[in-house]
Chain A
Amino acid sequence: MDRFRVTMTMGSPIVSNGGYMTLDALLAALIFERTGDLERAHSEIPLQRTQGLWHASGAVFEKQDDASVSFVANLQARHDLDLDLIARNKAGNTHTAMGLTRRRDFGAVMNSYRMLTVPEITWYAEGDVQTVEHLLHDVGFIGKRRASGYGQVATVRLEPDELDGVTGFFGEPLRPVPVELFKGDQTALKADAAWRPAYWHPENRAICFVPEAP
């Protein structure tokens, strides 16, 4: 297993919905894209793992701008309603005004995200550098709203490094690490956070030492 850092130069702002954007999460997503196998995506990440903790840092970057971006999706029912099933008014006609439920379920929905303008993103990790390089060599976009052109990756560079992806030079956490697994600075920031993939799953949360927000 090698220690290395990954540096991506970005061609467009990245859209995020919070979180630490760890390298293991990115690699798991790439494995899933290629295999369609969720189990493999979470278990075959080519990185060192200790007691379930992947040796892969969160994204490290200096932002030039931090803004909000919103998208509107017009949701529509996929079926036609049978008018015989709808209550009629006193005149014998169906009500045609769109009710609150229909508006909520099938109307326009606006989603807001955080948009970061960052020239470069760096991750530190320990693992099989060749397999990681193979997974990353043709990655085009990262983050959310990739199909809208956000998070375009211009270049990817892998270089040897001293850090293991878990603890920094001053003992600070480079990623969420459960309190009982962390050997670094015990005065570091603590938060309730997901520490292993799937990061969205509530059962993968614990009290962790976490990096300070960039």
Chain B
Amino acid sequence: MNTFTFFNEYFGKYLVRQEGAPHEAAWRALSSNHRLAKGTEGRLASGWAIVRPRGGSSVQLKLAAAGLLYDDRTRVEAFLDELSHWDGREPRIFLMFDKAPVPIGNLFMTVDRRAIRICSPAGVETFDLEREPTPESGGIQKALWKRRIAA
């Protein structure tokens, strides 16, 4: 199962019709307007999501879609909790949303604890969860490390 099939099966299918190639459906899910719980429409333009094959995928934005779990924790709290319980056997996709949609070229599965990938519109942050960040490391790696040390 490639990235886009995985994304659609456990996240995208709850938001958009599965028509065309998998990467096209994934792009529609990431860039289209969706019905929100409060009744209006909006894109995935803030918050975060974790795509997982069992137990349902989580998203911070309160969408009207059934089949997804809504979770109002911060992205650092949610990612750290997921990573601390993840055995590495089944893939995950970690997403951070912003005003611009996440391009499909930035959509990657995480399949190894030594190469965690956080996908966002600005790029993909890749890091080893067990390694201390360096001054050049990305913001989310530093934030996760700081939270782990504090815990």
Q: Which residues of A contact B (CB under 8 A)?
A: 66, 189-192, 200, 202-203, 205-207, 210
Contact = CB atoms under 8 A, between A and B. Distances in A.
21 contacts: A66-B136, A189-B112, A190-B112, A190-B115, A191-B111, A191-B112, A191-B115, A191-B126, A192-B108, A192-B109, A192-B110, A192-B111, A192-B117, A202-B2, A202-B105, A203-B2, A203-B23, A206-B2, A207-B91, A207-B111, A210-B115
Interface of B: 2-4, 21, 23, 91, 104-105, 107-112, 114-115, 117, 126, 136
Nearest to A66: B136
Q: Which 10 pairs between the two chains have the least Cβ-Cβ distance? A: A192-B109, A202-B23, A190-B112, A192-B108, A191-B115, A190-B111, A207-B111, A189-B114, A205-B2, A192-B3
A210 B114 CA distance: 11
Contacts of A192: 3, 91, 108-111, 117
Contact of B105 (A191, A200, A206, A210): A200
Given A191-B117, A192-B117, A202-B23, 8 more contacts: A189-B115, A192-B3, A192-B110, A192-B111, A202-B3, A202-B4, A203-B2, A203-B21
B51 to A, nearest CB: 12
A202 B104 contact: yes
* Max chain A Cβ within 10 angstroms of own Cβ: one of B111, B117, B126: B111
Contacts of B108: 191-192
A207 B109 CA distance: 8
B6 to A, nearest CB: 9
A207 B2 CA distance: 7
Contacts of B3: 192, 202, 205
A207 B105 CA distance: 15
A25 to B, nearest CB: 16
A211 B125 CA distance: 17
Nearest to B107: A202
Contacts of A206: 2
A202 to B, nearest CB: 4
A210 B4 CA distance: 20
Contacts of B114: 189
A210 B110 CA distance: 13
A203 B111 CA distance: 18
A64 to B, nearest CB: 15
Most chain B CB within 10 A, of A66, A189, A191, is at: A191
Nearest to A213: B126
B140 to A, nearest CB: 17
Nearest to A210: B115
A206 B2 CA distance: 5
Nearest to B93: A192
A81 to B, nearest CB: 25
